[in-house]
């Protein structure tokens, strides 16, 4: 029986040393020391031996078991080290190689224009005001002297939401950022010098119109404000924004319910080539005017003491003109090729020296 045990130990040690990987080593361990293993079976058979023989045989079996357990542990350490070395060799990186090229993100042209607008008007003393996208009928229309029969209130022009009650006017996705002006006048006493930029919504969609677009509106409320202040403010802004110090600017009489007198603002351009400041033609660029006395009164401001001017422009429109973009729709299509072409580096933010 001793010779059989020695042969078992010799065979087991050979199998352990020959195990090529951890899975094979585990199979050897189970075959020897598992519940149905060869050495385990001999340990279980000790109960049938006489006491003296059981003591001697048990001592030999335990010595073999400890020897095999030590051999298994040593082989496991060796195999784990070899596996780690192979993994490190396979995953080794040559740090002297050049880095893989990666494309950095760019700033969307709309965001860039908004940064430039904020910088230019900020230099004139304006602050940026904000308001909700979902507005009440009064803030969006009533307070701005827009009558019930005005076309802007029609369902085919405006996005209405379900009213809270049958009697209440339905909320509206704001059709302009003018409600921000109303909210500012209601919350802060004059003097007021703000611009309001953000998303606006109208039911229109083609190459030059989108159901959602961006507007910038400005409001100045102070004492002794005249049309001369309005003209100087907008002329300076347009010439700085487009980078043309001699850009022709024309103010043309028009009508808006919330201003009186009202004026469209045109800039010189070439109708044939699209070049700004050249050609002798005129292109309408924004609307403006002196704030209507009813709008001031609706906001709780005495029009006999305070007066001011307001203006509004489409940010997509001036962006398209500045950068030669002919179609509005790609602004919202998330085409990375278009964005890489017209986008701006995040490391080159809008600075005043670019236009002033």
CA angle 50, 51, 57 (to 5 degrees): 85
pLDDT classification of 356: cutoffs 50, 70, 90: very low
pLDDT at 355 over 50: no
- 319-334 mean pLDDT: 90
CA dist 31 and 26 (Å) reads: 9
- 32-45 mean pLDDT: 79
pLDDT digits (tens, 9 = 90+) for 101-147: 877 889 999 999 999 999 999 999 999 999 999 999 999 998 998 88
pLDDT classification of 352: cutoffs 50, 70, 90: low
Instruction: Report the share of the chain in percent with pLDDT over 90.
Output: 48
- The top-scoring range by mean pLDDT among 6-10, 196-200, 350-354 is 196-200
Name the more confident of 149 and 238: 238
Lowest mean pLDDT among 60-74, 141-155, 287-301: 141-155
Q: Give the per-residue pLDDT at 223.
A: 93
Q: Give the per-residue pLDDT at 4.
A: 79
pLDDT digits (tens, 9 = 90+) for 155-181: 667 888 998 888 888 899 999 999 999
pLDDT at 332 over 60: yes
User: Any idea what DSSP says for residue 344?
Assistant: B
Long-range contacts, stretch 65-73, CB < 8 angstroms, 24+ apart: 65/33, 65/39, 67/9, 67/13, 68/9, 68/12, 68/13, 68/16, 68/32, 68/33, 68/39, 69/33, 71/12, 71/13, 71/16, 71/17, 72/16, 72/25, 72/28, 72/29
Instruction: Specify whether the CB–CB gap between 216 and 195 falls below 8 A.
Output: yes
Q: Give the per-residue pLDDT at 3.
A: 62
CA dist 228 and 130 (Å) reads: 27
Instruction: Specify whether the CB–CB gap between 350 and 116 falls below 8 A.
Output: yes
Instruction: Report the share of the chain in percent with pLDDT over 70.
Output: 95
Run of H or E residues at 92: none
Q: Give the per-residue pLDDT at 351.
A: 62
Q: Give the per-residue pLDDT at 67.
A: 85
Instruction: Specify whether the CB–CB gap between 17 and 9 falls below 8 A.
Output: no
């Amino acid at each position: 029986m001793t010779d059989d045990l020695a042969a078992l130990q010799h065979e087991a040690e050979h199998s352990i040393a020959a195990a090529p990987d951890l899975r094979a080593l585990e199979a050897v361990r189970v075959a020897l020391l598992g519940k149905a293993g060869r050495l385990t079976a001999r340990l279980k058979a000790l109960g049938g031996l006489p006491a003296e023989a059981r003591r001697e045989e048990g001592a030999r079996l335990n010595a073999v078991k400890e020897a095999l357990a030590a051999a298994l542990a040593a082989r496991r350490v060796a195999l784990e080290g070899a596996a780690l070395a192979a993994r490190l060799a396979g995953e080794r990186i040559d740090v002297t190689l050049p880095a893989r090229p990666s494309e950095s993100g760019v700033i969307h042209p709309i965001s860039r224009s908004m940064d430039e607008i904020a910088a230019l008007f900020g230099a004139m003393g304006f602050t940026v005001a904000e308001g909700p996208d979902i507005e009440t009928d009064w803030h969006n229309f009533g307070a701005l002297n827009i009558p019930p029969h005005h076309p802007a209130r029609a369902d085919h022009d405006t996005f209405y939401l379900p009213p809270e009650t049958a009697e209440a006017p339905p909320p509206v996705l704001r059709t302009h950022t003018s409600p921000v002006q109303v909210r500012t006048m209601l919350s802060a006493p004059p003097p007021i010098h703000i611009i309001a930029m953000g998303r606006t919504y109208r039911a229109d969609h083609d190459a030059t119109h989108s159901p959602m677009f961006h507007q910038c509106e400005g409001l100045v409320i102070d004492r002794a404000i005249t049309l001369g202040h309005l003209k100087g403010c907008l002329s300076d802004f347009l010439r700085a924004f487009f980078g043309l110090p001699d850009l022709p600017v024309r103010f043309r009489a028009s009508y808006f319910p919330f201003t009186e007198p009202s004026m469209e603002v045109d800039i010189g351009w070439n109708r044939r080539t699209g070049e700004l400041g050249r050609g002798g033609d005129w292109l309408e660029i924004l609307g403006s005017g002196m704030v209507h006395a009813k709008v001031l009164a609706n906001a709780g401001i005495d029009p006999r003491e305070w007066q001011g001017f307001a203006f509004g422009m489409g940010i997509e429109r001036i962006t398209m003109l500045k950068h030669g973009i002919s179609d509005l729709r790609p602004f919202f299509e998330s085409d990375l090729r278009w964005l890489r072409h017209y986008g701006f580096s995040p490391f080159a933010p809008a600075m005043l020296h670019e236009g002033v």
